[in-house]
A and B are shown apart, each in its own frame.
Chain A
């Protein structure tokens, strides 16, 4: 053997392989190996058994949620327009940026914060808040990006080192600023879990944005479009693998209101800084021309992601800005109720227009002294002067002659004590007390003394501003009440309730209401030169004078001022009710109604002079809807597919 071969033999073995014997002594160990083979296969089979047979359902469910996802393409809601098709509410396209936290490098947070114009600390805090959420959920970093910020995202989304950033297009509702018409139009929001359980909302899905309040809510099915969707294959990182199919969104339809923005704006400005409500309507058809409730809120803040602080402020506000006082405030109407007592008395024949009462500043009824609001008394008054001066003693007397059930009957036919069924949510009923009402509610007899209070619109009687406008308008046109509405009905016809009143009697009451404004009555401040305006003031006490004397903070219990008006007196085309909470006296609410009525006639005159007919009036506050969007809402722009 050569030395080199010997060395190789030392390393690898000698190489005389053909002479080796067959395997010795390995028998037992071969058996051990075979056992290991068995064990390994059993181990593996058992693993599959566990997964595929025992836990199969669990994994089948997880596979299902893993693969296809349906991403909504949000349909824009229809615009809300006033009667002249001027825009009250529309949408603006906005971009949100979402940031993937997978592979997020802390070092780029600073430039991202810079580019998006957010505070770096705030961004970090936002990321921290989401720390416990699954990492594959991208988080919205900023909403409503400016064009510069959009450009920043587009430029940096694919940059090395930067996390995955995506732009999400959203049509956000744009409401008038300053809370104009906020209660009327309402706001939208995501449908809540609780709502989804109710019948009304059963047709919506998790995450749908629906009308929550006002017209947005009552006409949600018109305004709300049909969301489209994109079927995307997604892995459980949230990565879109590819598109399977797209169904485009269908935008909502535009909604034309009966509201006249010119009047609405005037009423809003007149109520600025005050608490209360204004309702203006056309008594001939029930079209609501203006509806204001103050204090107001900004619906732009309510729609979508409301900040917790904003929500707290609104909810904790003692004056409850979310309440639509026009249809939700139930208060004693005070003297504004007197015309209804008057028409009842005339119709029932308990008095005629010459019936006189001598007022000495108060009178005794059923052993109790009832004061008139005028300390010295009005002297001898008839129907016309009693209405003009709002003499309480006169109406105590008349009410007493009528009896509570007759008063209630005429109140009811005028629309009190029942919903007007206006097309807005959350309307309240108010109260019209009578003997039966008291028996049913309190199991007590009606005391005749209570009738005296109700005769001047106090006591248990409560009404809403809308009811009052509705009722006085219907009385003014001769006892015909058209159901109030804020959206023009399809047929142009609305429900009508009629009373078979003698037009002569109506004229007598209207005459008294003319005197209120024009003949030295309590509503003198509501006069408009050249326009025959009728009106009635009302002052309603929150508590009795005796109780008021014992209250420390008298400001909290200031009287409410009411004012109802309509014009022209003989052929009314507008009726207005004004509530000024804590306004102390009805006469102070008068100028608010006057402004609205004046705006109405000014506009009418302007249109007649310029001959522009239906042409809308341009003001800085008001934009006109482009005609195209009114007829055929453009389909929703489809978001760019980003597989």
Chain B
């Protein structure tokens, strides 16, 4: 169903530029953070992922997103089964059954890709609601629809991914006509559920939240990462210590230097100036996605784009907020920058959807 008047020259090149800038800075930082360690080939792997991701994006943006939306029921069932399969059969890695080992030393994180499917599900569902406002029934049905894979992800357990699914739902319903009264009620329910859910959290999760409240309480236990991250960021100063010069990074005081805490090492080595550049690129990225949403030919396209924007913004807030001690440690990667194939490919799938919407903005 590729429209004849779709041209790749119409791609959002500014968005592409921002994405490539972020990815390349990410690869540079992965190189710096892992040089001299057993993970020294990570930057090369990430480069491969980037190439694959770019190809994937081009493929996706060539597909009319309506075609994908039409396949939602199938995708939904396949995803649910895959998640269930992972939960039942995958070998636990780091205490979590979320990875499927692939030949060649690669691992596939099913829950990452489930985000794409859930985005499609939410977009299709909300696009079909014709009224100005969402009824309670609409909300319940959508909630149940998203709830099944969400609970499966949560059970893996992969709290981070489960959390990132929520902003897709939140922004979707918000833009889809969520009534203010419902919003208030939902917020109240969440406020009530949160204290109860405390009892279902694992000890390490509780510790992370406690640490967020007061990192000094346990400086060598769970507060360690946060304190080391703050030292890394703060000691970077205005101009940073230079590539591969950050003592916090190079002497391995920081954990997860090339994955979740990549922004911390970047901030150490490139300083406030570098941080402003990176956050500026994310700003351009977000604004371009929003622009594409506004120019979308239909509601489904708008929800798709805004779902991606919500996802990126949430990742940015939680990951970078964690690095500067303003968010609890959640294990949520920084999109496009953190090392990780599944995360990167998922991002490019989502960006492909955005480009797909953009390419069809003039199609009526």
| CB within 8 Å of A: which B279-300 residues | 279, 282-283, 286-287, 290, 293-294, 296-300
Chain B residues near A8 (CB, 8 Å)? 73
Known A-B contacts A17-B70, A18-B66; A11 and B145 likewise in contact (beta carbons under 8 Å):
yes
Q: Does A125 contact B (CB under 8 A)?
A: no
Which one of B171, B224, B287, B300 lies within 8 Å of A237 (CB-CB)? Answer: B224
Which one of B72, B219, B251, B306 lies within 8 Å of A67 (CB-CB)? Answer: B251
Cβ-defined contact, A48 with B275, below 8 A: yes
Chain B residues near A20 (CB, 8 Å)? 127-128, 298-300
| CB within 8 Å of B: which A118-163 residues | 134-136
Mark the stretch among A37-45, A88-96, A164-172 that contacts chain B: A37-45
Q: What per-residue 1/0 map shows which CB atoms of A239-255 lie under 8 Å from chain B?
A: 00100000000000000
Q: Does B63 contact A (CB under 8 A)?
A: no
Cβ-defined contact, B279 with A33, below 8 A: no
Which one of A11, A135, A233 lies within 8 Å of B220 (CB-CB)? Answer: A135
Q: Does B247 contact A (CB under 8 A)?
A: yes
Q: What per-residue 1/0 map shows which CB atoms of B140-158 lie under 8 Å from chain A?
A: 0100010000000000000
Nearest residue, chain A, Cβ from B240:
A52
- The residue in A43, A48, A67, A134 that gathers the most chain B C-beta atoms within 10 A of its C-beta is A48
Chain A contact residues: helix, strand, loop or mixed: helix
Chain B residues near A44 (CB, 8 Å)? 279, 316-317, 320-321, 324, 326
Cβ-defined contact, B125 with A12, below 8 A: yes
Chain B residues near A32 (CB, 8 Å)? 174
- The residue in B69, B251, B294, B316 that gathers the most chain A C-beta atoms within 10 A of its C-beta is B251
Cβ-defined contact, A52 with B231, below 8 A: no
Q: How far is the CA of A179 from the CA of B263 in the complex (A)?
A: 64
Cβ-defined contact, A12 with B124, below 8 A: yes
Q: How far is the CA of A34 from the CA of B174 in the complex (A)?
A: 13
Nearest Cβ distance between residue A344 and chain B, in whole angstroms?
76
- The residue in A24, A37, A62, A136 that gathers the most chain B C-beta atoms within 10 A of its C-beta is A37
Residues of A within 8 A of B (CB-CB), count? 54
| CB within 8 Å of B: which A37-93 residues | 37, 40-41, 43-45, 47-53, 55-56, 58-60, 62-64, 66-68
Q: Does B237 contact A (CB under 8 A)?
A: yes
Chain B residues near A48 (CB, 8 Å)? 233, 267, 272, 275-276, 279, 324
Q: How far is the CA of A222 from the CA of B121 in the complex (A)?
A: 83
Which one of B121, B282, B302, B325 lies within 8 Å of A12 (CB-CB)? Answer: B121
Nearest residue, chain B, Cβ from A16:
B128
Q: What per-residue 1/0 map shows which CB atoms of B319-344 lie under 8 Å from chain A?
A: 01100111000000000000000000
Chain B residues near A241 (CB, 8 Å)? 251-252
| CB within 8 Å of A: which B211-270 residues | 219-220, 224, 227-228, 230-238, 247-248, 251-253, 267
Q: How far is the CA of A134 from the CA of B224 in the complex (A)?
A: 13
Cβ-defined contact, A62 with B272, below 8 A: no
Q: Does B62 contact A (CB under 8 A)?
A: no
Q: How far is the CA of A623 from the CA of B211 in the complex (A)?
A: 61
Q: How far is the CA of A18 from the CA of B64 in the complex (A)?
A: 11
Cβ-defined contact, A26 with B235, below 8 A: no
Known A-B contacts A11-B145, A29-B175; A47 and B326 likewise in contact (beta carbons under 8 Å):
yes
Cβ-defined contact, A33 with B175, below 8 A: yes
Q: How far is the CA of A549 from the CA of B45 in the complex (A)?
A: 101
Cβ-defined contact, B235 with A62, below 8 A: yes
Cβ-defined contact, A60 with B237, below 8 A: yes
Q: Does A25 contact B (CB under 8 A)?
A: yes
Cβ-defined contact, A26 with B121, below 8 A: no
Cβ-defined contact, A25 with B177, below 8 A: yes
Q: What are 11 A-B contacts with C-beta separation under 8 Å?
A: A12-B76, A20-B128, A22-B298, A33-B290, A37-B309, A41-B283, A53-B272, A62-B231, A66-B248, A235-B253, A236-B224
Sorted from nearest, which 10 A-B pairs have the closest CB atoms? Answer: A59-B234, A13-B128, A63-B235, A47-B324, A52-B272, A51-B234, A56-B237, A23-B302, A59-B235, A60-B235
